[in-house]
Structure 1
Amino acid sequence: MSAIHTAKNRPAAAQKTPIGLPPSRRLTDLRSAPWGLPVLAVVVGAGAGAGSIVFRWCITTFTHLFSGHGDYAASPGSGNPHVPWLGPYFVLIAPVLGGLLYGPLVYRFAREARGHGVPEVMVAVAQRGGRISPKVAVVKTLASALTIGSGGSVGREGPIVQIGSTLGSTLGRLAKVPEGRMKLLVACGAAGGIAATFNAPLAGVFFAMELILGTFSTEAFGAAVLASVTASVIGRAAFGDVAFLSLPDFHVDHLAQYGLFAALGVVAALVGVGFSRILYLIEDACDWLWRGPEWLRPAVGGLALGLVLLALPEMYGVGYPVLQKATEGGYAVGFLLLLLAGKMLATSLTIGIGGSGGVFAPSLFIGAMLGAAYGIGAHDLLPGTAGAVGAYALVGMGAVFAGASRAPITAVVILFELTGEYSIILPLMLAIVLATATSRVLSRDTVYTLKLRRRGIDIEGPARGARLGAQRVDAVMEPLPSSLSWSTPLPDAADLLSLSGHGALPVADEAGAYAGVVTAQAVAEALAEQPDAVPTQVGRLAERPAPVTADQSLAQALNTLLAAAGTGVPVLDHAHGEPVGWLSHQSALRAVHTAGA
């Protein structure tokens, strides 16, 4: 008893403590400590790398099962050794059998696994705080592998982006991280998936920044790099450190070639936008024609896909061997254009009947066919100037993807990494930038955002049912506070800012026109740096925030308001660009109270 009594009364410092921190404390540190995000990013990258291995193995397994080949596109038109008596006609049955398997799977367990995947991740980040159901990873892996293995003419980047992003979201939920970090972990999963699958760590990072997050920051970039590098190491250990395509060295020998590449960029934009429109046009046609249960749609639609594969077996699966042969000049112009049109039809039909797979690889395929045909034509017209056909195929790949997705940085980096070909970088950049600019003129949406807009989802607007965001700015803005004149001394400006109740005030130039906004923080910093100097005019500190116009929706204006340095931003008249009101955080929240009253 005395021993027990002594132990109870021993000072706390002298008592033996358990090794390590309690689980709750460790979890709190993981959520808030500076090292928490890097650790989580590495874990997500490792998960995405492992997921890519499983996904690639599933694709190979199902392709062997349905076609009897490792990649049927490498030997198009041959028979299936499992059923040799069918000869090449087995392609009529393979998509039907695949549809019978993945159709019920997607319909029963995760309908968001249907389609090409990236738009679902984009809307999850933009409107759902990065929350994605964990079961999506499993369903997407199986459904996409079955689709590709049974002949679906889609890519593997969309599925692996959705798989990796789901892993990031699931880990974020388990660690109970705040919403901002949850979105970063989703982007880390996307970066890791692209990096491991395509052996393209830089492209994975920029894909996540440009398409998933839609913004760049030091924290996000660092986390995405950690995830991408981790996934790449795992991917290279499994698949080897080899380039996507093996191409000879290319050189631009004549300045006139830059004009040819520039023209190719414009043409590629037309093809990229056209691919997006055809994709959803055929999906609409499939929706209009089908009247049966959704789970049966892929199997019945597989008959139509089988007819396309019978006529053009090069469309089976992703089609990388066909793409490789096109860059080597292995096809005539007429057949290249046939392959281009066939890929648009086969991919659109695969997605339209309910298949699961990406549109990135098909856009590369289409671009390679376009570029190779363009290069052959240029070489026939200008044999001493045009240069190698393969260079045009490579540039066409990046330009069509840029025209469809409007992600120029990703397009440049991923084509460089997938091919390991640096000598073509200048023509590639020129064509991709022109393709992106032309695409922006031709279409409001990309191949990803168009899918969402057709559902009534605007990722720049409020989520469905949100109480904040649908209102117009002019309905919720406050009266415009008095402007500071350009020549107001800093001490006077500090007094006026302190009395205004705003953390920022508009500034007018000598003619009375709007010149920008000055914040209390900027004035305080200027006074602290030169306390004894002659007062500086406040106009020199004025900066123009991103414009908020009276006719905008509040959801669009909120992005500018949240990024502003002060507590509010001026609301400009759309016609003349002059301030007509003031939007603050309080006025935005007041809109919620008004809507609920």
Structure 2
Amino acid sequence: MRRVLPALRESNGGLAVLAVTVGAGAGAGAIAFRWLIRTFTLLLSGHADYSAAGHAANPHIALLGRYFVLFAPVLAGLLYGPLVARFAPEARGHGVPEVMYAVARRSGRIGPQVAVVKSLASALCIGGGGSVGREGPIVQIGSALGSTLGMWLRVAQLRLRILVACGAAGGIAATFNAPMAGVFFAMELILRDFTAQSFGMVALASVTASVIGRTAFGDTPFLHLPAFHVQHLGQYALFALLGLLAGVVGVAFTRVLYAVEDLCDAVSRVPAWARPAVGGLALGALLLVLPQMYGVGYPVLANGVYGTYSVVFVLVLMFGKMVATSLTIGIGGSGGVFAPSLFIGAMFGSAFGQTAGHLLPALAGPPGAYALIGMGAVFAGSARAPITAVVIMFELTGDYTVILPLMAAIALATGASALISRDTIYTLKLRRRGIDLDAPVPAALLPGRTLRDVMEPAPTPLPEDTPLHKAEDRLSRARHGALPVVGSDGEYMGVLTAQAAAGTLTDERRADMTADIPVRELIFLPHVVTLETPLHEALDALVAAEQSGLPVLDESGLRLAGWITHQSLLAAVHKAHAVTRTVS
């Protein structure tokens, strides 16, 4: 065991084993989660999927007739509200932003209890009529599994982040039978980078989870969609217009979601644990009018794609889903927004296609094609994850002919969304808490401060013509593992690191040479920071540096003025925290 654990922590082979393990765990978690959803839906509604049952009664309590939907969300809220409030408040809401925050700001650390609480809370919420999706919960469940395994083994921070992404990818792959979408969802939204190592490990986890999911659910897509055909080149203009409008619809969904959440915050006067039950009455009233909003609603989505509903009714369903999902999240429910965005996109696309068919019957073609494109485009407009949107729609249809119009519509939807709104449906939740994932970590803690305020005195520099063997002694005693190098005129030239010197000296002495190479031939130029560089920008430069410190240059950028280290920045952060606590 003493040999096995270091290998798992440090080697690429060990990381691959962990990725497969996390993928297997996420696949098993997806199976359990879907079983919980079905079980609670049967218990609370009497149907496997009440959204397709119309105004049917719950056979368990037939005396209430269709009015049981007034109480199903309340009962579910009474169960999951205290559970979430007591054990894992981060399990409230749609889940993905919390995982994004954990990866970006907490080095991938997610509490192990989140997986259990999120599973129960989301399954109860969806089973009790909550109009949310299962992708957010399964992402958070899989990510919590990956984080828990990584923390237990005490892996490095970078590897812990990768394991969290592996869990997210595995959850998506298993629950939707979409392994490629799982990979790109994790890379595009969770890790937000595409390094070769992380891509390979996430792919391993996704494939493993998908195999497990297919063993349990069969090798079929979670939605059965009609065949796609582009019947006329002129349809591309209609698909482009649909993409632009879908980007607006995606932003509108985001705005409605958080506006309803603000409204719920404003009117709520009850403790957090009771809020889902009290707010459940409002959700139940909506379900009484529009039972198609009960749960995830995949059968209703499929009917919209196949053109079962009229233009007016699909628009009613589209706006109804926006409100129902927003209300479910606003009252403290637990569930995802990915499936609702697909639902909204399908209804909008169907309405667009039917309208185009009436206005341009010779050109438009079947409305189902527009519903398919609308699904991907609205998701891209709300989440701004175009690669994931393209891949998941391709995996759902299995039809390559969908790719060209889909890519065009999704690209336009993403662009339109970016023009209208800075944030996505995921990042806006974090920004409302004062968290900007695109900003360096301490920006909010250290406003207006520069390196002039916190830098240390610079080490005595080496002249550029110093022979390497003469610089050896000074480098061995250098506190930061590096020394600045200056030219004959005193201008800064770069940095000589102990690592570079040691490698060169070893090679030279092995060849019986005197190692009289001038240090100017071994210097490198790290990211340039000056006296006026903000502290949050300096942190990024330090993270990327090979050594433990960086030279600080004067305003001209030509001469050495000081030195900056992680310790000095940490001291500045600590001081800012202390001041904040004193003021508050």
Gaps of 5+ in 1: 1-22, 482-490, 506-516, 529-537
Structure 1 residue 417 corresponds to structure 2 residue 398: no
Matches for 1:564-583 after TM superposition, within 5 Å: none
Summarize the alignment of residues 285-304 of structure 1 with structure 2, pairs less than 5 Å apart: 285-304=263-282
The answer for the alignment partner of 1:43 in structure 2 is: 21
- Alignment partner of 2:209 out of 211, 231, 253: 231
Partner of 2:37: 59
Distance 1:360 1:123 in 2: 18
Change (3 A) 1:476 1:384: farther
TM-score, normalised with respect to structure 2: 0.83
8 Å contact kept, 2:186–2:202: yes
Deviation string 1:17-49 (CA, Å, 9 cap, x unpaired) is: xxxxxx222211211122110000000000000
How far apart are the structure 1 equivalents of 2:455 and 2:139?
43
Residue equivalent to 2:286: 308
Distance 2:443 2:337 in 1: 30
Which 4+ stretches in 1 moved above 3 angstroms? 460-467, 469-479, 498-505, 517-521, 542-545, 547-573, 578-585, 587-597
Contact 1:161 1:189 in 2 (8 A): yes
- Which stretch shows the higher mean deviation, 252-261 or 137-146? 252-261
Instruction: Pick from 221, 243, 259 the counterpart of residue 265 of structure 1.
Output: 243
1:202 maps to amino acid: M
Identity of aligned residues (%): 61
> What SS class does the counterpart of residue 240 from structure 2 fall into?
helix
Change (3 A) 1:69 1:571: farther
Cα displacement (A) at 1:464: 7.6
Equivalent position of 1:108 in the other structure: 86
For residues 552 and 399 of structure 1, do their structure 2 counterparts lie closer, same or farther at Cα, with a shift above 3 Å needed?
farther
Assess if the C-alpha contact under 8 Å between 1:99 and 1:299 holds in 2: yes
**1:3-23 superposed Cα distances (whole Å, 9 cap, x missing partner):** xxxxxxxxxxxxxxxxxxxx2
Summarize the alignment of residues 192-591 of structure 1 with structure 2, pairs less than 5 Å apart. 192-461=170-439, 472=449, 501=483, 554-555=535-536, 558-559=539-540, 562-563=543-544, 586=564, 589-591=567-569
**AA paired with 2:243?**
G
Offset, 1:231: 0.3
Query: Relative to structure 1, is the Cα distance of residues 204 and 324 closer, same or farther in structure 2, using a 3 angstrom cutoff?
Result: same
CA distance in 1, matches of 2:38, 2:398: 25
* Structure 2 residues without counterparts, runs of 5 or longer: 459-463, 476-481, 488-492, 502-506, 508-519, 576-584
Report the residue type matching 1:590 in the other structure.
Answer: S
Q: Secondary structure at the match of 2:348?
A: helix
Q: Secondary structure at the match of 1:586?
A: strand
- Which one-letter code corresponds to 2:173 in the other structure? A
Partner of 2:149: 171
Q: 1:33 to 1:202 in 2, by over 3 A?
A: same
SS at match of 2:47: coil
Q: Aligned pair 1:88/2:66, yes or no?
A: yes
Q: Write the letter of the residue equivalent to 1:50.
A: A
Deviation larger for 206-215 or 76-85: 76-85
| Structure 2 counterpart SS, 1:99 | helix
Letter in 1 for 2:564: Q
The question of whether the paired residues in 1 share the 8 Å contact of 2:454 and 2:572 is answered with no
Paired with 1:398 and 1:189, the residues of 2 have a C-alpha distance of 23
Matched, 1:135 2:116: no
Select the residue among 55, 60, 75 that pairs with 2:53. 75
Aligned-pair distance for 1:457? 1.7
State the 1:263 CA deviation: 1.1
CA distance in 2, matches of 1:570, 1:313: 64
**Post-superposition shift, 1:478?**
8.1
| Structure 1 residue aligned with 2:579 | none
Q: Which range moves more in the overlay, 216-225 or 237-246?
A: 237-246
Q: TM-score, normalised by structure 1?
A: 0.81
Q: Which moved more, 1:321-330 or 1:410-419?
A: 410-419
Q: Classify the secondary structure of the residue corresponding to 1:372.
A: helix
Give how far 1:579 is off. Answer: 6.9
Deviation per residue, 1:176-226 (Å, 9 max, x gap): 111111111001000000000000111111111111111111110011011
Q: CA deviation at 1:470?
A: 5.2
- The answer to whether the 8 Å contact 1:250/1:388 transfers is no
The equivalences for 1:14-53 within 5 A come to 23-53=1-31
Deviation larger for 584-593 or 231-240: 584-593
Name the count of aligned residue pairs: 532
Cα distance in structure 2, aligned partners of 1:548 and 1:335: 60
8 Å contact from structure 2 (residues 542, 566) kept in 1: no
CA distance in 1, matches of 2:559, 2:416: 35
C-alpha root-mean-square deviation of aligned residues, in Å?
3.5
1:207 aligned partner, one-letter code: F
Give the deviation of 1:472 after TM superposition. Answer: 4.6
Contact between 2:170 and 2:205, CA under 8 Å: does it hold in 1? yes
* 3-state SS in 2 of match to 1:295: coil
